[in-house]
Amino acid sequence: MEQTTILSFCLFLLYISTCPQVLHSAITSGHRHRHHEKRSVKLFVFRDSYADTGNSGKFATGSWVAPYGITFPGKPAGRFSDGRVLTDYIASFLRIRSPVPYKWRNRVKKSKLGDGMNFAYGGTGVFETLVSAPNMTTQIDFLQQLVEEKLYTKSDLDLSIALVSVAGNDYAAYFLKGNHSQVSTVSTSIVNQLVVNIKRINDLGVKKILVTAIEPMGCLPAVTSIVSSYQNCSETMNAGSRFHNQILYKKVEELKKNQTTKASTIVILDLYNAFLSAIQQQKHLEQDAGNSTTRENPLMPCCVGVSSEYSCGSVDERSGANKYTVCSNPGRSFFWDQEHPSQNGWRAVYSAIKSSLLPLSININNM
């Protein structure tokens, strides 16, 4: 089978299992790290389910049903995981609470908006996808509107950090819409728009921006379940991820040399190698455990449907019976469902990328 056909097929499988789900943040039960009064750093988050902590509707997403949130906060709270996601760990590094989801801005006390805001919506991309939710351009519009309404000032933005999270929804949507351009053309288009978005965030006044490289899409359970019964990653898909990241690094370096952005701090978080490193480490642990059942195959999701027609969180409409199973120890899994890391997985990824945040912490300490 031609590589482009394989890629399209895998993206289709990935997309149809991703679309129904989106996450939410348990703001009042989130990290309780409070920053010193002199540190007014705020975190603004843009993009999809890898960063979303609660913007998607409860009736439109599976992440609002059990067993999502089983580890944290102990009940479904909208995150695409059993617990915390990337946003939560970045906020913890900054010693602030996980920022309030944009959708909740009018439901919480104004004091809770002091840690920033999360504009990410699951299933979205830099362009329009097949999910009817605000893409990144619209998410940035939301921030601009809040600045115009003076909810956040120029000083707030100057002391803030943006997290721009990138996953594979744009690629999946592109192929599902029947486009057949070379993957290189698609990647260039996606990254170019991403750079436009980064510059716009910077122009609004946010001088410190974290941008995630794309994860190894060939290692997602939605793909490995088809190509190797969860045993190995798809090299074809991973090659596409590496190509995307090569363009991203090049374009970001060019952006850093731009006259209007060269005084800013733009950091790429290498999710690609962080995922691979965490998966490989867990494989070694699994092998060391021998026949013990306390270790989980890192490529196998913890929560799965009982058959191909069901997914994590599915319930029989007539009987109300659960149509999914959960692994014995989510705290030892890397993936939670077919596309998203577990809290343990995100913790491992965060540990791998934490050193990339250290230059940022120097700037924070000077705030």
Residue pLDDT, tens place only, 31-49: 444 433 445 799 999 999 9
Go through 69-97 and write b for each residue having 16 or more CB atoms within 10 A of its CB, e for each that does not: bbbbbeebbbbbbbbbbbbbbbbbbbbbb
Q: For residue 63, which phi and psi values (nearest 5 degrees)?
A: -70, -5
DSSP classification of residue 223: H
Residue 16, amino acid: I
Which one, of 116, 198, 205, lies nearest residue 154 by Cα? 205
Res 274: pLDDT: 98
**pLDDT more than 90, % of the chain:** 69
Please tell me the distance from the alpha carbon of residue 108 to that of residue 170, in angstroms, as a whole number. Answer: 32
For 139-198, the three-class secondary structure string (H helix, E strand, C coil) is HHHHHHHHHHCCCCCHHHHHCEEEEECCCCHHHHHHHHCCCCCCHHHHHHHHHHHHHHHH
Which one, of 190, 191, 127, 174, lies nearest residue 11 by Cα? 174
Res 266: pLDDT: 94
In this structure, what token pair is assigned to residue 278?
């965490």
**Longest Cα–Cα distance in the chain:** 63
- Identify the band that residue 7 occupies on the pLDDT scale cut at 50, 70 and 90: low
Please tell me the distance from the alpha carbon of residue 221 to that of residue 337, in angstroms, as a whole number. Answer: 8
Answer yes or no: is 299 within a domain: no
Rounded to 10 deg, the angle between the 169-176 and 183-204 helix axes is 130
The CATH number of whichever domain residue 160 belongs to comes to: 3.40.50
Q: Is the pLDDT of residue 92 over 70?
A: yes
Answer yes or no: is 305 within a domain: no
DSSP classification of residue 215: P
Answer yes or no: is 331 within a domain: no
Answer yes or no: is 328 within a domain: no
Tens of pLDDT, residues 112-163: 999 999 999 999 999 999 889 999 999 999 999 999 999 999 999 999 999 9
**Active site positions, annotated:** 49, 337, 340
Listed as own residue / partner, the contacts of 279-282 with beta carbons closer than 8 Å and 24 or more positions apart are: 279/219, 279/233, 279/334, 281/348, 282/332, 282/334, 282/348
DSSP classification of residue 54: B
Res 288: pLDDT: 63
Res 127: pLDDT: 95
Res 33: pLDDT: 43
Q: Is the pLDDT of residue 71 over 70?
A: yes
Answer yes or no: is 93 within a domain: yes
Q: Is the pLDDT of residue 91 over 90?
A: yes
Go through 270-280 and write b for each residue having 16 or more CB atoms within 10 A of its CB, e for each that does not: bbbbbbbbbbe
Average pLDDT over residues 339-344: 97
In this structure, what token pair is assigned to residue 199?
């510059």
CA atoms within 13 Å, Cβ hemisphere of 24: 24
Q: Which residue(s) pair with 267 in the sheet?
A: 210
Answer yes or no: is 99 within a domain: yes
Answer yes or no: is 132 within a domain: yes
Q: Is the pLDDT of residue 195 over 90?
A: yes
Domain that holds residue 89: 3-271
Which one, of 49, 56, 357, lies nearest residue 211 by Cα? 357
* Domains contained in the chain, number: 1
Residue 194, amino acid: L
Please tell me the distance from the alpha carbon of residue 259 to that of residue 266, in angstroms, as a whole number. Answer: 14
Please tell me the distance from the alpha carbon of residue 202 to that of residue 363, in angstroms, as a whole number. Answer: 16
Answer yes or no: is 262 within a domain: yes
Q: Is the pLDDT of residue 1 over 60?
A: no
Torsion of CA 74, 80, 82, 83, to 10 degrees: -70
